[in-house]
A and B are shown apart, each in its own frame.
Chain A
Amino acid sequence: MLPALLTMVGLAAAAGVAAALAARRSERDRSRLVDEIDALLPQTQCGRCTFTGCRPYATALANGEADINQCPPGGHATAAALAKLLGREPRPVDPRFGNVPTQPLVAVIDEGACIGCVKCIQACPVDAIVGASKFMHTVIAAQCTGCELCIPPCPVDCIVMRPVPAAELRPGPYSVVRETTHALEM
């Protein structure tokens, strides 16, 4: 009687430990999955997917609470990559979440009209607007992701989205560009 009881208790304890370990491991797997999804997202932080940013959307995707076609800035390439990673059916971006932009845009502040209210600075998710209360604000174009979140809070409507000039297509760090300087030298 007693050995049987001990065996049962022992087995139950072992199963409990195994379940706890598995839970912890799946936790770790999930956070790795979130990282992998986040790496595919364009990091615009625009919130058009209805989540507050790219990482929250990645978390929701990992938890199965969102669909792969909710990211307009990423376009169809991102939707396809997400479908591939998550093993889901590929689908084009749902237009309900917004149109896929045809070219990269950046916010530009009409500095003559700016009243220095700092509302856009608070709205910018990537700290790409500089300025202070009652002083003119301006956008650091190289850091602007084109999320358009600064546009609604502006009380004087002095922010517009403009295409990035072709010549200034963000030069990026030297380590990225230098590989193009392999040109044949004779």
Chain B
Amino acid sequence: MARTSGVRGGLRLDAHKQRSTAHPLRTASPPEHLVLPLDQHAGAAAVPIVAPGDRVLLGQPIAEPGGTISAWLHSPVSGTVTTIAPRPSPRHHGAPALSIVIANDARDERHAPAALPSFEHLSAGQLREHLERGGIVGLGGAVFPMSVKLDAAAARSEPQVLLNGVECEPYISCDDMLMRERAQDVVLGASILLHALGAKTCIIAVEDGMPEAARALSSAVDRRHDERIQIATVPRVYPAGGQRQVITTVFGVEVPYDALPTEIGILCQNVATAAAVARWVRDGQPLTSRIVTVTGDGVQHPANLEARLGTPVSSLIADCGGYTERMTRLIMGGSMMGVALPHDELPVIKATNCVIAASALDLQPRAAELPCIRCGNCSEVCPAILLPQQLHWYVRGRDLEALETYGLMDCIECGCCDYVCPSQIPLAERFREMKPVLLRARIGRATAGAARSAVEARTDRIARLEAEQRAALARKRQAVRDKQS
């Protein structure tokens, strides 16, 4: 096993993971109605290819990609499409998003599977094309369509694969459980990704606080006899599992701020994404379910559940024995980056890695905000090497130019600055609010550039047409004069 160097900044936090990893992985009970938002991945929303009243089978495609950065969506059950209408979505804090609603007939009739037991016979390009139809997106939380990254990495020479099993955020344990119980899926997924890229090395990064997962993975690697796959352990620091952070820790290189990891030839995927790849290729099972950690002091029996997409959160809570009387707030995601859910009638989507039913014991009370004393704690813990105290100043003054210079867009919103701030300033929240403003300004500049070239093209065209007309007129006059003389 390779040892790796540490991560810059970050925090050592209590993991709070034992509660949910005490019991083996279970399957969540399938609900009667499933709600599948069409925009549950990053990029353009998917476009439905079924209509209300249609009968659908388990694993049948129900929506196709709506753009170059988009993903397929498949039915997680067999049943009938009841409606396609806006429904509250967890990605928008409960605001409605266009969703396909399916009534489950509990028969689980499968769509003709498209399994490819011997993927080695396919060319890398054919395999990538097959992977695209699996609807697989990054399951770490960013839900970026997997094939888009895969194609970008394949265009580089000598790409490398990095499977990210560094689940550094407190409370979340779905990847830990996956690696413990389905290590062979992760390793098969690694082999498939290596083949699809024509790559020679794959590193699976795990946290040093996950000995069971590391053991399971190394025995799975031994069984598969694939020397290209290695396991690396990463120190348990939050946010060592961020995509850029894990690349720096494992490879010792920093991804340039204005480039994506694929541009330096690294395909970084979550271990759960690799396991989803394995299931799609080996069993023909598209991404229709995922492992969700249900934990916190507000739920009776914390556990990891394999839930079908579209299952309401309330049904997961019921599977875990219901709420305790101490339950105060529902959070989707981990304790650092998670977002509060307004109620529990929201569906599980591809991005749902964890649901925390938090009690007062889980939540740190936030005192009133005080002025910044410029202690600099925030810049010491910032893993993105930014100066949060300075950004805070520019956010207050809405100085977009300075925010651009000081790299607001490179903030990964990990919340470390927030956590250490003695003045209790909600820094990460402020930065998150300011990013769209900055993005709009950037887009404004880009559209202004397009308008400028449009005007220039039009001015040139009008001048050319006028010159042509004048020349034609002159020719005609000359012809008349020639005739007269």
Are A and B bound to each other?
A: yes
User: In the complex, are the beta carbons of B268 and A185 less than 8 A apart?
Assistant: yes
Measured CB to CB, the closest approach of chain A to B292, in angstroms, equals 14
How far, in whole Å, are A100 and B186 apart by their CA atoms in the complex?
Answer: 56
Evaluate contact between B243 and A185: CB separation under 8 angstroms.
yes
Q: Counting CB contacts under 8 A, is B414 at the interface?
A: yes
Interface string of A155-177 (1 = CB under 8 A from B): 00000000000000111111011
Of B142, B410, B450, the residue contacting A143 (CB under 8 A) is: B450
Residue of A42, A44, A126, A186 with most chain B CB atoms under a 10 A cut-off? A186
At the interface with chain A, which of B163-171, B313-321, B340-348? B163-171
Q: Per a CB cutoff under 8 Å, which of B142, B435, B440, B451 touches A184?
A: B142
A134 interfacial contact with B, CB 8 Å: no
Cβ of B455 < 8 Å from any Cβ of A?
yes
Of A177, A183, A186, which is within 8 A of B172 by CB?
A186
Question: Does B439 interact with chain A (Cβ within 8 Å)?
Answer: yes
Interface residues on chain B, size class: 35 or more
> In the bound complex, what is the Cα–Cα distance between A41 and B451 (angstroms)?
11
Assess whether B446 is in contact with A172, with CB atoms less than 8 Å apart: yes
> How many A-B contacts at CB < 8 Å in the complex?
109
- Verify B439–A177 contact, CB threshold 8 A: yes
Name B454's contact: one of A126, A171, A185 (CB within 8 Å).
A126
Please tell me if the beta carbons of B444 and A182 are within 8 angstroms of each other in the complex. Answer: no
With A143-B454, A172-B443 given, is the CB distance from A186 to B260 under 8 Å?
no
Query: Which positions 224-250 of chain B face chain A at CB distance < 8 Å?
Result: 239, 241-244
Known: A43-B451, A170-B447. A183 touches B457 (CB 8 A): no
For residue A96, CB closer than 8 A to chain B, the reply is no
**B239–A180 contact, CB under 8 A?**
no
Contact (Cβ within 8 A) A184 B455? no
B448 at the interface (CB under 8 A from A): yes
Pick the contact of B141: A169, A179, A182, A186 (CB < 8 A): A186
CB distance from A105 to the nearest CB of B (A): 13
* Residues in B neighbouring A125, C-beta threshold 8 A: 454-455, 458
State which residues 19-59 of A face B: CB under 8 Å: 38, 41-45, 53-55
Residue of A nearest to B269 (CB): A185
| Cβ distance B283 to chain A, nearest Cβ, rounded Å | 25
Any A CB within 8 A of the CB of B337: yes
The docked-state distance in angstroms from the alpha carbon of A181 to that of B413 is: 12
How far is it, in angstroms, between the C-alpha of A170 and the C-alpha of B260 when the chains are bound?
A: 22
- Interface positions, chain B 374-423, Cβ under 8 Å from A, are 409-410, 412-414
Out of B168, B268, B413, B443, which one reaches A170, CB within 8 Å? Answer: B443
Q: Is residue B76 within 8 Å, beta carbon to beta carbon, of the partner chain?
A: no
Residues A185 and B451 in contact, CB atoms below 8 Å apart: no
Expressed in whole angstroms, the Cα–Cα distance for A78 and B18 within the complex equals 56
Contacts of B455 in A (CB 8 A): 43, 45, 53-55, 125-126
Task: Answer whether residue B452 sits at the interface, using C-beta atoms and an 8 A cutoff.
Answer: yes
List A contacts of B353 (CB < 8 A). 186
- Complex interface residues of chain B between 437 and 485 (CB less than 8 A to chain A): 439-440, 442-444, 446-452, 454-455, 457-458
A147 to chain B, nearest CB (A): 9
Q: Which residues of A contact B244 (CB under 8 A)?
A: 182
Q: Please pick, from A127, A172, A180, the residue contacting B435 in the complex, using a CB distance under 8 A.
A: A180
* B451 & A181 in contact (Cβ 8 Å cutoff): no
Complex contacts, A185 vs chain B, CB 8 Å: 138, 140-142, 144, 164, 241-243, 268, 270
Q: How far is the CA of A172 from the CA of B69 in the complex (A)?
A: 13
Alpha-carbon distance between A54 and B413 when the two chains are bound, in angstroms: 38
Report the nearest A residue to B138, measured CB to CB: A185
The docked-state distance in angstroms from the alpha carbon of A50 to that of B410 is: 41
Whether A186 lies near B448 (C-beta < 8 A) is: no
Given the interface contacts A44-B451, A185-B270, does A127 sit within 8 Å of B457 by beta carbon? yes
Asked whether, in the complex, the Cβ of B42 is within 8 Å of the Cβ of A179, the reply is no
Q: In this complex, what residue of A is CB-closest to B45? A: A167
Q: How far is the CA of A97 from the CA of B443 in the complex (A)?
A: 26
With A and B bound together, what is the CA distance between A42 and B447 in angstroms?
9
A53 to chain B: which residues have CB within 8 Å? 455
Cβ A186 vs Cβ B443 within 8 A: no
What string of 1s and 0s marks CB contacts (under 8 Å) between B154-168 and chain A?
000000000010111
Interface residue? B258 (CB, 8 A): yes
Cα of A55 to Cα of B442 in the assembled complex, Å: 21
* Complex-state Cα separation, A54 to B442, whole angstroms: 19
| Closest residue of A by beta carbon distance from B165 | A186
The distance in angstroms between the C-alpha atoms of A170 and B443, with both chains bound, is: 7
Minimum CB–CB distance from A122 to chain B (whole Å) comes to: 10
Bound CA span A184–B446, Å: 26
Instruction: Provide the residues of chain A in CB contact with B69, threshold 8 Å.
Output: 174
- Asked if A179 and B444 sit within 8 Å, CB to CB, the answer is no
A38 to chain B, nearest CB (A): 7
Given that A172-B443, A186-B164, A186-B242 are known contacts, is A181 also in contact with B458, CB under 8 Å in the complex? Answer: no
Contact (Cβ within 8 A) A173 B167: no
A183 CA to B91 CA in the complex, in Å? 14
Closest approach, in angstroms, between the C-beta of B288 and any C-beta of chain A? 21
CB within 8 Å for A180 and B439 given contacts A126-B458, A185-B243, A186-B242? yes
Among B142, B166, B442, B447, contact of A181 (Cβ-Cβ < 8 Å): B142
Q: List 25 A-B contacts (CB under 8 A).
A: A38-B452, A42-B444, A43-B451, A44-B451, A45-B455, A55-B455, A127-B457, A169-B443, A170-B443, A173-B446, A176-B443, A177-B443, A178-B260, A181-B42, A181-B144, A182-B412, A183-B142, A184-B239, A184-B243, A184-B413, A185-B138, A185-B242, A185-B270, A186-B167, A186-B241
Q: Which residues of A contact B (CB under 8 A)?
A: 38, 41-45, 53-55, 125-128, 143, 145, 169-174, 176-186
- Chain B residues packing against A (C-beta within 8 Å): 42, 68-69, 138, 140-142, 144, 164, 166-169, 172, 175, 239, 241-244, 258, 260, 268, 270, 337, 353, 409-410, 412-414, 435, 439-440, 442-444, 446-452, 454-455, 457-458
Name 16 extra pairs, CB < 8 A, besides A125-B455, A178-B260, A185-B242: A41-B448, A43-B451, A145-B451, A169-B440, A169-B443, A173-B446, A174-B68, A176-B442, A177-B443, A179-B409, A180-B439, A181-B142, A181-B260, A185-B140, A186-B141, A186-B168
